[in-house]
Amino acid sequence: MAESTKTATLSFEGKTVDLPIRTPTAGPDVVDISKLYAQGGVFTHDPGYTSTSSCESKITFIDGDKGELLHRGYPIDQLAQKSHYLEVCYLLLYGDLPTAAELEDFESRVTNHTMVHEQMHNFFRGFRRDAHPMATLVGVVGAMSAFYHDSTDISDPWQREVASIRMIAKVPTIAAMAYKYSIGQPFVYPRNDIDYAANFLRMCFAVPAEDYEVDPIMARAMDRIFTLHADHEQNASTSTVRLASSSGANPFACIAAGIACLWGPAHGGANQACLEMLREIGTPDRIPEFIARAKDKDDPFRLMGFGHRVYKNFDPRAKVMKQSADEVLDLMGIHDNPTLQVAKELERIALEDEYFVDKKLYPNVDFYSGIILDAMGFPTSMFTPIFAVSRTVGWVSQWKEMISDPAMKIGRPRQLYTGHTRRDYVDVENR
């Protein structure tokens, strides 16, 4: 990227500060304020980072107005239709699509790291059976930092590579174990002779008492869900991973921090919340009641699966996911799914409603993913863990990019302090 010669000038209280403007390969120009405090003695204030770029990245680009999502330049709809999850993982991690030999080598490395240390099984037994699988996932992925000591020296590129492969390979195993534990069934070990998505389904749904054949339609749908959630530039959980890692912390612990952030209903938890909402609506005739609630300023209710911080046109992942939902339900012979009927009608009504049109609130990826996962037999509590499995590669790719950047420094935001100014301590008897 050529250095820009453009500058922005900030004038206040008789001072003038020239701020360099950096021009990205795509997206709006960025005013570099990193020297603003040194030169002008002021901070900037942007809660929720709505106008702030927190890092330089070459991995994912989103054009929210156009509804475009590119991974290393490739549009998500092309990747979802023509590629598959592990190839997209390679693309995100290493920057280009792999050759056949590179892909084979990568798939074999991931496949050969899918088992977890046997001692880790004991962690699960410490959780209550009714714990949310996300709670178990956060805990057990965090616990990985107490194992695998040969891949935690983040200054060593080889150890970073091994840690990356381990996370992509083992998080699905841990998520499946969290599910099995929650339903009181024995853990199912991964198999090296089936692909990533099929392996995950098998670890979730097989039982030792009988043979289990993975349905290729289910495996393809699972792979597509993984692919569509693989990365999404500097979202809340990815920024959490970057901030946690910026102190040089243990990589496994940093991914656990990302999982914790993802859990919230405004982020990854929305897929569970959305399906629960669709079920609560129940029948299309109740939709107007829920639309009215979503529009009521005095009601905290929001239509789950609608709206996005960045997409103000449509979420390109939702388009592919909607197609997938139709395909999967059709192929599984489910034609009168009431939840899908409610979803379709809700989408139609909301997209014509002035409130949603004016605020540019469109269905996001989570609007349809829950319907597919439900049809596959997953309980709603597994929806967000599945999102975490998919997003692990995004977190890891962004982490690797940050750690290998020589300009990396600890993330340390400033604040607009509005508390008390200095005051003297008063002894308890005088208060």
- Kindly list the catalytic residues: 308, 366
Q: How far is the CB of 278 from ligand ACO (least distance, A)?
A: 12
Q: How far is the CB of 246 from ligand ACO (least distance, A)?
A: 22
Told to check if 84 binds ligand ACO by CB under 6 A, we report: no
Nearer to ligand ACO, 202 or 267 (CB): 267
Q: Which of 308, 319, 322, 400 binds ligand ACO (CB under 6 A)?
A: 308
Structure tokens at 91: 């693309």
Backbone angles phi, psi at 22, to 5 degrees: -100, 135
Nearer to ligand ACO, 24 or 265 (CB): 265
The b/e string for 77-94 (b: 16+ C-beta within 10 A; e otherwise) is: bebbeebbbbbbbbbbbe
CA 296 to centroid of chain Cα atoms: 29
Q: Which residues pair with 75 in a beta bridge?
A: 70
Told to check if 60 binds ligand ACO by CB under 6 A, we report: no
Nearer to ligand ACO, 57 or 237 (CB): 237
In the chain, the N- to C-terminal Cα span, in Å, equals 61
Q: How far is the CB of 168 from ligand ACO (least distance, A)?
A: 19
Nearer to ligand ACO, 61 or 147 (CB): 61
Q: How far is the CB of 419 from ligand ACO (least distance, A)?
A: 25
Q: Which of 67, 98, 139, 307 binds ligand ACO (CB under 6 A)?
A: 307
Listed ranges 33-41, 95-103, 129-137, 302-310: which one lies at the site for ligand ACO (CB under 6 A): 302-310
Find the residue with minimal CB distance to ligand ACO.
307
Told to check if 67 binds ligand ACO by CB under 6 A, we report: no
Nearer to ligand ACO, 46 or 56 (CB): 46
Q: Which of 148, 181, 226, 306 binds ligand ACO (CB under 6 A)?
A: 306
Nearer to ligand ACO, 220 or 302 (CB): 302
Q: 241 to 270, contacts with ligand ACO by CB under 6 A?
A: 266-268, 270
Q: Which of 109, 302, 337, 379 binds ligand ACO (CB under 6 A)?
A: 302
Closest-CA residue to 63 (of 24, 22, 27):
27
The residue whose two tokens read 């996932």 is 137
Q: How far is the CB of 254 from ligand ACO (least distance, A)?
A: 19
Structure tokens at 376: 């596959």
Told to check if 220 binds ligand ACO by CB under 6 A, we report: no
* DSSP string for 207-254: -TTS--PPPHHHHHHHHHHHHHTS--SS-HHHHHHHHHHTTT--HHHH
Q: Which of 67, 172, 305, 394 binds ligand ACO (CB under 6 A)?
A: 305
Structure tokens at 65: 């107005």
- Cα distances (Å, whole numbers) of residue 426 to 267, 359, 420, 429, 430: 44, 50, 15, 8, 6
Q: 86 to 115, contacts with ligand ACO by CB under 6 A?
A: none
Q: How far is the CB of 309 from ligand ACO (least distance, A)?
A: 4
Residue count, binding to ligand ACO (CB under 6 A): 18
Q: 376 to 405, contacts with ligand ACO by CB under 6 A?
A: none
Which helix (H) or strand (E) segment holds residue 69: the answer is: strand 68-71
* DSSP string for 273-339: HHHHHHHHH-SGGGHHHHHHHHH-TT-----TTB--SS-SS--HHHHHHHHHHHHHHHHTT----HH
**For residues 392 and 114, what is the distance between their CA atoms, to the nearest angstrom?**
14
Structure tokens at 418: 């509005």
Q: How far is the CB of 188 from ligand ACO (least distance, A)?
A: 28
**For residues 141 and 255, what is the distance between their CA atoms, to the nearest angstrom?**
7
Q: What string marks each residue from 330 to 369 as x (binds ligand ACO by CB under 6 A) or -?
A: -----------------------------x-x--xxx---
Told to check if 190 binds ligand ACO by CB under 6 A, we report: no
Backbone angles phi, psi at 320, to 5 degrees: -65, -40
**For residues 322 and 325, what is the distance between their CA atoms, to the nearest angstrom?**
5
Site residues for ligand ACO per CB under 6 A? 266-268, 270, 294, 302-309, 359, 361, 364-366
